[in-house]
Chain A
Amino acid sequence: MEHRNSHPREMRRSERVWAYAALLVMLVLVLAAPLGLAMAQEAPAGAAVEYRDVPGIGSRNLIWIVAQQHLLLAGFVLGVPIFAWVCEIVGVRTKDPRYDKLAKEFTKLLTSAYATTALFGGILLFLLIGLYPKLMNYLTDVFFPSFLVYSALFLLETATLYLYWYGWDAMQGRKKGMHLFLGFLLNVFALFIMIVPNSWATFQTSPVVITESSMWAKAWAATWNPTWWPLNVHRLIANVVLGGFLCGAYAGLKYLMTTSQEERVHYDWMGYVGNFIGVFGMLPLPFAGYWLMREVYQYNQQMGITLMGGFLSWLFILQAMLIGILFLGANYYFWLGIMYRIPGSEPKYRRPILIMLVILLVCLGIWMTPHSLVASLEEARKMGGTHHPLLGVFGVMSAKMTVANLMILVTFMSFIMYWRAGKQETAAWAKAAKAVMGVILGLAAIVIVVLGVWGYFVPAITRIDKFSTTQVLIVLFVLLTVTPLTGLLMKSAKTTTEMVWGVMPARAGYALVLNAVMVILLMTLMGYARSSSRVHWHIYGVMQDTSPYAYSPALGYAAAFMSLNTFLFCLMVAFIFWVASLGGEKKPQQKETRVPVVGAGPVPVVRQ
C-alpha cells in the first residue's frame, strides 16, 4: 500500500501493453463503423431510401447508444452551468472563496464536456440523416425554422461559455457583477438549447395536427405539443440533479484518491455541496415526472397504459428501486456527515436516524411492490391470479404517490437535522418555532397518508387532479416554510460542536459515486421508457416505423443497453475529468503532508 501511494502514476509494462491494445481495438472499431455503413443495403435505383442499416450492431442500437450519450452529456453540460452559477452567487453573497473555487473548478470541466457533447450531437445528426432519411425528411419539413434558431443559440452559447470561463480571473472584484450576468446569460441560452430539441422529441411522442401554412407557423404549432413543457421542466430539474450528483461523485473520487489532508478537507466539503444540490433538485423531480406522465396519459390512453400499466410498467418498478437507492444514498451521506463531522453526536441522533430509515424502507417496499406480481404457477393459484388480495393495493398510483411524498419529507428532514446538528438555538422564540415546525411536519405526513388512502374511494380524476396535487402542494408548503424558519433560527444559533471536515470514512465517497451512477441509470431507463412508449411509430399515429426494428426489445435486452450506456457515459465523464486535470495549475514545490488513505485509520483533523 505504501509503495503504491508513493508512486501513484507508475504503470507496469504489462499494464501499459494492455492499455495500448485496448486503445487499438477501440480505434479499429471506430474506423470499421463507416465500412459497416457502406455495406448496408441500398434501395433500388430510382426509389427513395427510407432506412439504412449497420451490420452487426444494427441501426437502432447504434442510434440508441449515440443518442443516449449525447443526452447524458447534454444533461451534464446544461446542469453544470446552473450548479456553477448558483455556487458563484453563494460565494459572492457569503464571501466564502471556496464557492468561487468550486464554481470555477466545474466550469473548467465544461469546456471539454461542451465540445464532446457537440461532437456526439453531430454524430447523432449524421447517423439519423443516414439511417433514418424518411423520418428526418419529415422532421426537417416541419421543424426547419427551429433548426436555424438552434444553430443561432449554439453560437451564442459557445461565445458566452468561452467568455464566462476565460474571463473568470479577469472579472473578479468590481467586474464580478458582469461575470455573474454572463453566467445568467449562459444559463438562459442553455435553457433554450435544451427546449428547442425537446420540441422535436416530444412532437414524435405527442404530435399535433399541422395545417398547411408558413414554415414558421408550422414549426411553432408543432413545438407547442402537449408534452413539450412537462418534458422541459422535468429535464431542467433532472439536469440540476445530474450536475449536483456528478459534482458529488467527482469530489468523492478525489477524496478517496488524495493523500493530502488539505485536499481531503476541500473535497469533503465539495462532496457535501454536490450532494446538497443533487438532493434539493431531486425533491421536486417526482412532481415534474408525475405531470409529464399525466400529460402522456391524457394525450393518448394507449400510450399511457403501455407505460404505466402495460409491458413497460416493469420499468417503473426498476425506477422505484433506483430512486429508492438514490434517496437512501443521499440520506446515508447526510447521516454519515452528522456522525463523523460532528464529534459526539452519535448518541443524540441514532434513534431519529433509525426512525427515518425505517420509514424510508417501508415506503420503498410499498413503492417497489408491483400491481401484478411475479409468481410461480402454484403461487399464482394460491393468490387467485398474479394480483395479491392484500398487497395488490400497493401497486397503484395512490399508494406510490403517497410513499414518494413521504420519502421526500423524510429526506428533507435529514437535511434539516444535519443543518441543526452541533448548534444551539439562542432566539427567544426558538421553542415556539420548533413546535410549529413539528406540527407542520406531523400534520403534513398525516394529511398525505389520509389523502393516499382516501384516493382509493374516489373517482380517478378526483385523485389525479385534486388529491395528488394537494399532496404535492403540502410537501412544497413544508419545504417553503420549514427551510426559511430553520434559516432564521440558525442565524442566531451558537455553535456547540465545531464541524470537522475531511474525516468522513471511505464509504461516504462510495455513496457519492453510487448516487451519480444511480442518476445516470435512471436517465437511461427513462430515456428508453419515453422512446419505447411510441412502440412501432416514429411519430406517434403519424409515421409508422416500417424498418426491421419496428418492435420493442425485451426488457432484459433493454436493461443491458441501459447498463452499457451508463458505463460508457461514466468512462466519458472520467475522461473529461482527466483531461481537465491536465490543464490544472502547477502546484508550488513544497513538502506535502501525507496522510494515510481514507478509511485506513485515524487521520489528523482540520477545523474550519
Chain B
Amino acid sequence: MKSSSLALKGGILLGAIFLFLKLILPLFTAPLPMSLIWLYLFLTTIGIIVYGTLSGESTEALLGPIFRFLSGEGIEGTTKMARLAVLVLFPLLVGWQTYSGFVPSSQPPSENRTIHPAPPGEFVGLSNPVPNTPDNVMMGKGLYFAYCMPCHGPKFNGNGPASDGFNPQPANFSDPTTIAMLQESYLFWRIKKGGVGLSVEGHPWKSAMPRWEVELSDDQIWKIIMAEYAGAGQKPRTWE
C-alpha cells in the first residue's frame, strides 16, 4: 500500500460510493432517498478515518495532505489555485445550504411516516373468532376479491388494477415485512377503521384505505384477514 495516497484513495472511495448509490443503484431499483445516501457516506467517512489513523504513518498519509492543502504549506501552481477555490467555495456552499434551509419553500418537509403505528387499546389482544376452515377462507377470498382486490391485487401483492392511482401504493401482503410481522388483531383494526383511523405518526392523510366498518360486518372482516394470509402465503404473528 502506498500510504502517501491514502487521502486520495479515501476521497475516491467516497465519490465512488456516492455515484453508485445515486446513479447506478437506481438503474436496478427505486432511487434511494438522500437521507439514506448521507447515512452511508457518513459511515464510509468514519471507516476511512478509523483505517487511516491506525498508525502514525497512516495518520500522516491521511491527514497530512489535507492539512498541507488547507494551510497552503509548500503548494504552488494549480494546487494553489485549487486551494483558493476551496477556501472561497466551501463557505459559499455552507451559506447556500443555510439559506436553503431557512428560506420559505412550497416543498413539503421530508416525510418520516411510521407504516405500522401502535393500534388503539380496544384492538389489542383480539383473536379471530371465526374458525379457520377451508369454507371460511374461501368466503374470505370472495369478499377480498369484491372489496380489496382492485387495490391490493389478485395476487395479494399490492398490484391491483387501481393501485397505480395511489401514492403510497397499497400494501403488498406477500412481502414478509408487512402482514407477516403483525397479529390478526392489527389487521382487523386497519381494515375496520381504514386510513382515517391511523394515529398521527401513521400520517392518516397518506392512506386511501376506506373505513370498511361502514360496509362490512366484523365476521366478514375476520374472514378477509384469513383469506389475505392464506392467499399471500404468510402466517400471522402469534405467541404460540
Residues of A within 8 A of B (CB): 298, 300-303, 305-306, 309-311, 313-314, 328, 332, 335-336, 339-340, 346, 350, 353-354, 357-358, 361, 364-365, 368-369, 371-377, 379-393, 395-396, 456-457, 459-461, 505, 507, 541
Contacts and interface: CB of A to CB of B under 8 A. Distances in A.
Given A353-B54, A379-B31, A391-B32, A384 B117 contact: no
Interface in B104-136: 107-108, 110-121, 124-125
Contacts of A456: 176-177
Contacts of B54: 335-336, 339, 346, 350, 353
B29 A389 contact: yes
Interface string B81-119: 000000000000000000000000001101111111111
B214 interface: no
B209 interface: no
B238 A459 contact: yes
**Most B Cβ at <10 Å: residue of A369, A371, A382, A384:** A384
Contacts of A353: 51, 54
B15 to A, nearest CB: 17
A336 to B, nearest CB: 7
Contacts of B113: 372, 385-386
Contact of A507 (B53, B110, B201): B53
B44 A361 contact: yes
A513 to B, nearest CB: 16
A367 B140 CA distance: 38
A280 to B, nearest CB: 21
Interface of A is mostly: helix
B180 A357 contact: no
Nearest to B239: A298
B181 A460 contact: yes
Given A301-B186, A311-B117, A386 B39 contact: no
Interface of B: 1, 28-36, 39-40, 43-44, 46-47, 50-51, 53-57, 59, 107-108, 110-121, 124-125, 167-169, 175-177, 180-181, 183, 185-186, 199, 201, 234-240
A311 B114 contact: yes
A489 B148 CA distance: 64
A185 B53 CA distance: 44
24 contacts: A298-B239, A300-B124, A302-B118, A311-B114, A313-B114, A335-B50, A346-B54, A346-B55, A357-B51, A358-B47, A364-B43, A375-B111, A376-B107, A376-B110, A376-B111, A377-B107, A377-B111, A380-B167, A385-B169, A387-B177, A388-B30, A389-B29, A393-B177, A460-B237
B1 to A, nearest CB: 7
Contact of B238 (A302, A303, A361, A460): A460
A372 B116 CA distance: 9
A387 B114 CA distance: 10
A310 B116 contact: yes
A385 B118 contact: no
Contacts of A459: 180, 234-238
Given A305-B118, A361-B43, 9 more contacts: A298-B239, A302-B119, A305-B117, A306-B118, A309-B115, A371-B177, A383-B30, A391-B36, A393-B176
A284 B79 CA distance: 51
A365 B56 contact: no
A357 B47 contact: yes
Contacts of A313: 114
B40 A365 contact: yes
| Complex A-B, nearest 8 residue pairs according to Cβ-Cβ distance, in ascending order | A385-B168, A375-B33, A459-B235, A460-B237, A306-B118, A310-B118, A311-B201, A456-B176
A26 to B, nearest CB: 34
Given A309-B116, A390-B29, A380 B111 contact: yes
Contact of A395 (B35, B40, B177, B201): B177
Contacts of A328: 46, 50
A323 B59 CA distance: 25
A376 B33 contact: yes
A339 B28 CA distance: 42
Contacts of A457: 176
A414 to B, nearest CB: 12
B239 A461 contact: yes
A309 B168 contact: no
A294 to B, nearest CB: 9
B238 A461 contact: yes
Contact of B181 (A350, A379, A396): A396
A372 B112 contact: yes
Given A302-B124, A313-B114, A385 B167 contact: yes
Contacts of A311: 114, 117-118, 199, 201
Contacts of A376: 33-34, 107-108, 110-111
B112 to A, nearest CB: 5
Given A375-B33, A461-B237, A381 B167 contact: yes
Contacts of B239: 298, 461
A457 B234 CA distance: 8
A369 B36 contact: yes
Contacts of B39: 365, 368-369
A290 to B, nearest CB: 15
Contact of B240 (A461, A507, A541): A461
B116 A301 contact: no
A129 B2 CA distance: 66
A391 to B, nearest CB: 7
A389 B236 CA distance: 21
Contacts of B234: 459
